[in-house]
Amino acid sequence: MTPTSEDAAAISSGGTRGELNSSPTSSSSGGVPPASVLGERDHFSKLLQNNREWCKARLAADPKFFERLCTQQNPEYLWIGCSDSRVPANQILGLQPGEVFVQRNVGNQATHTDLNCMSCLEYSVKELQVKNVIVCGHYGCGAVKAALKLPSKTTNLVNCWISDIRECRNQHRAELMGLEGLEAQVDRLCELNVLRQTFHVATSPVVQAAWDRGQELHLYGVVYSLKDGQIKKLVGPISGNGDFECDQADFESHGASYVAAAAAAAAAAVAEAGAGVSNLSVVGTTLDGRVSLNGVTLTSEAGAEDGRTSAAQVDALRAYINTAKVHNRIAEHVNGWH
């Protein structure tokens, strides 16, 4: 049927001809539902109204708000947080739109195989030149609780997604089992997961490359409490490779008391390596603060015999010690460690 001028007038006014000439119940006979009924079904219409009211309020308070926002994409912070709707980055940090770049996923994870998170990290660090990366978890996280309770054989995508959190659970099984009650276990695993994901960020190629080229970049691992709205810092600032232990298990176990000095990190690593690394048992520092190994001082001069600076030699030492520690753990496992 061809629309009449009367139909056109009705549509232009926001309704239909049938809507003007019949009661709301007439749609049950096959006609077009009235606008009031469509409004009830369209849940987004309420959000559109909220948006319009928000725009008016913003313009009333600051007439140039949106004009300024168009050129304001240079945040100093990248937030890697959980998808939980109760943990909005801007609000709990007290920041305005344009002041924090946000990456959120279930369980605030930052694994190197997550292309979404790593792409966001790369864009933030290389293009936006953010100076701070914040990994934030929250107590009572559903993903963390699932890592504790959800059977491994459960066939759904979430079970695959939380595998890294479950691995964190396995590595800290003794500590978690020593806590009384599920809530205490979940909250502690939330903290351990934040430390684990912060380590992933610190060892990511993007962050490592930024530090290598001297870019200012500080990492933080924090946890948010839904009960009081407070943020607790677990670790940070980490501003370079010398600011954290390169062994993930040690990093997680130390938490906020991470070792920030290369000499102390080397000494602690050797001490934990145990008798299995007897040839590295004499590690100390010289009077000027440089690291010594078996009486040999690691020089900071560029003209060292092997051409390496002190930092490079310390990195090599750490790598050797970490390898020795892995061998020790394998030996413990073979001898019945579990």
Q: Do 78 and 205 lie in a common domain?
A: yes
Where a domain ends, among 232, 262, 292? 262
pLDDT of residue 262: 43
160 is in an annotated binding site: no
The annotation status of 246 as a binding-site residue, yes or no, is no
Whether residue 154 contacts residue 99, with contact meaning beta carbons closer than 8 Å, is answered with no
β-pairing verdict for 231-238 and 218-224: antiparallel
Q: What is the CATH number of the domain that holds 238?
A: 3.40.1050.10
Residue 206 shares a structural domain with residue 115? yes
The tally of domains found in the chain comes to: 2
Q: Is residue 4 part of a domain?
A: no
Owning domain of residue 103 = 49-262
The reply to whether 143 and 290 lie within a common domain is no
Which of 104, 120, 138, 190 is labelled catalytic?
A: 138
Instruction: Per residue of the chain (338 residues), give pLDDT as tens.
Output: 444 545 444 444 444 444 444 444 444 455 556 655 555 677 888 888 888 998 999 899 888 888 888 877 788 999 999 988 888 888 888 888 888 899 999 999 999 989 999 999 999 999 999 999 999 999 999 999 988 887 666 667 888 888 899 889 988 888 888 888 888 999 999 999 999 999 899 988 999 999 988 999 999 999 999 888 889 999 888 888 776 665 566 666 665 444 344 445 555 555 555 544 444 434 444 454 444 544 444 444 444 444 555 555 666 666 556 555 555 555 554 443 33
Residue 138 assigned ligand-binding role: yes
Let me know whether 216 and 85 are in one domain: yes
Phi-psi region of 236 (alpha: psi -120 to 50; beta: other; left: phi over 0): left
Are 258 and 289 members of one domain?
A: no
Is 160 among the catalytic positions? no
Q: Which residue in 141, 168, 190, 246 is the catalytic one?
A: 141
Q: Is 82 marked active-site? A: yes
Cβ-contact 231, 237 below 8 angstroms: no
Domain co-membership, 220 together with 177: yes
Instruction: Indicate if 314 and 251 belong to the same structural domain.
Output: no
Whether residue 219 is found in the same domain as residue 323: no
Active site residue 138: yes
Q: Cβ(266)–Cβ(259) under 8 Å?
A: no
Same domain, 299 and 258: no
Domain assignment present for 308: yes
Residues 137 and 255 in one domain: yes
